[in-house]
Amino acid sequence: MARGWRGPHNPHQAAAEFAALAKSHRVHTIWGDNYAKEWVAGTYRKLGLEYRKSPLPKSDLYLESLPLFRRGLVRIPNDPVLVRECLLERTTGRSGKDVVAKPRGEASHDDFSNALCGALYVAVKAAAVQPVPIVMPFIATRPRRIPGGSVFAGDGSAPVAAGSPHRPSREEAWWHYVRGDW
């Protein structure tokens, strides 16, 4: 799905529509660039969503998503605006660093391609995080219920009531006390 607003428009109304769309898909965190500084983050916060600033500039987002496109792992919607905005140009800057941007002299926008590459970056990073397994702790101590013994003094008296079916004796097998399946 590709959605966007072209100007002139009411930015509060656009943010409210995008927030409703995000909530309908159970999305509670919006990622974006540093455009309009705190206005965007504050507006989404008021609408009940968390806004996180992208750790990478758009050129780096494009470079990060390039291998996904080359491997054929990404299919984009057949939206004419999105397809047009994904026609980007890769150049090498004076410092030797690769820069990806819309072609020079092009009067088009790059909002859709920014959103696409930013979403791919977040999805790949989220998939790379390995969940921490929840394991049951193993605590090695002395057994507390030993057949014929006591927890407190070792005098042969068990810490259960007399006549109890769970009262240990010296003649009983010990393994079901350890496993807890008596």
How remote is the C-alpha of 94 from its chain's centroid? Answer: 36
Span 8-42, pLDDT tens digits: 778 888 889 989 999 999 999 988 887 777 888 89
Distances (CA, A) of 92 to 59, 98, 100, 107: 12, 4, 9, 21
In a domain, 134, yes or no: no
- The per-residue pLDDT for range 89-138, each reduced to its tens digit, is 888 888 888 888 877 766 667 888 888 889 899 888 888 877 777 776 66
pLDDT in tens, 130-181: 777 777 666 666 555 555 555 554 444 445 555 566 555 666 666 565 666 5
Which SS3 state, helix, strand or coil, does residue 84 take? Answer: helix
Evaluate whether 133 touches 140 at the Cβ level (below 8 Å).
Answer: no
Domain limits at 161?
Answer: 140-182
For residue 7, pLDDT over 80 is answered with: no
Q: How many domains does the chain fold into?
A: 3
Phi, psi of 142 (to 5 degrees): -75, 145
95 and 124 fall within a common domain? yes
Q: CB neighbours (10 Å) of residue 58?
A: 19
Q: Clarify whether residues 15 and 39 are in a common domain.
A: yes
Instruction: Give domain status of residue 117, yes or no.
Output: yes
Do 40 and 18 belong to one domain? Answer: yes
Position 140 scores a pLDDT of 65
Phi, psi of 116 (to 5 degrees): -60, -50
Q: Identify whether the C-beta of residue 82 lies closer than 8 Å to the C-beta of residue 74.
A: no
Checking 125-132 for CB contacts under 8 A at 24+ apart, the result is: none
Q: How far apart are alpha carbons 63 and 60 in whole angstroms?
A: 5
